[in-house]
Amino acid sequence: MDYIFIIGPSAVGKTTLAKELYKHYNGVYLEQSMVPEFMIPENVSDIGIYEEQLCWENVLLQLKFFYDKGLSNIVALDFDDVRTRELPLLFKGYNFVTLKLVSSDTNQTKNQMIHRYYNEGGLYIPDYVERANEVIMSRRLLPNEVQIDIAGKTKEDVLKEAIDIIDHFKPLTEYEYELGDERNYLSWVQSRGLV
């Protein structure tokens, strides 16, 4: 596989799965949060939009760089959810899969968020989990996207299911696709009004 994208709401287990897939496939691991720190110019009118755009463009350059260097199984995650809808356009012609992690048991995801917050730090907005999960779960699947419901599963169960999907997945390289309505996605950039 050229690229393995992992998306889903906060605390659903994206990072845990991504790190294990990276090790399993001896590929590349890339989170958008790995982008180097940079200063925001004073004349920027919308800091959120500016910051997210720079980070996204940086991740895209890195994804293409690793591919051009002959690496495969490039695992990428942690980008703004609204960017998910761009993946089928930007990576058409490549062998990629997008694993959309969701949970039909919101309490499980909330508990995972609480556990992570108190043991590892990180985002702590339990009420956001339900909204994010609902939005991400309810939208239609995009080309080369597969949904994994983590409800009632251990991280080992999810990893095994993901590996099985990846190992047997036949990605489409040719398909018709137009960007869907961005209101069906989320964004941490408040000014987008998608939160």
Task: Tell me the per-residue pLDDT of 146-195, one tens digit each, with 9 for 90 and over.
Answer: 999 999 999 999 999 999 999 999 999 999 999 988 888 877 776 676 65
Decide if pLDDT at 99 tops 70: yes
Instruction: Specify the CATH class of 3-173 in words.
Output: alpha beta
Q: At what angle are helices 155-168 and 14-25 packed, to 10 degrees?
A: 50
Residue among 140, 139, 141, 144 nearest 174 (CA): 144
- What torsion do the CA atoms of 112, 115, 120, 123 make, to the nearest 10 degrees? 60
Q: pTM of the prediction? A: 0.87
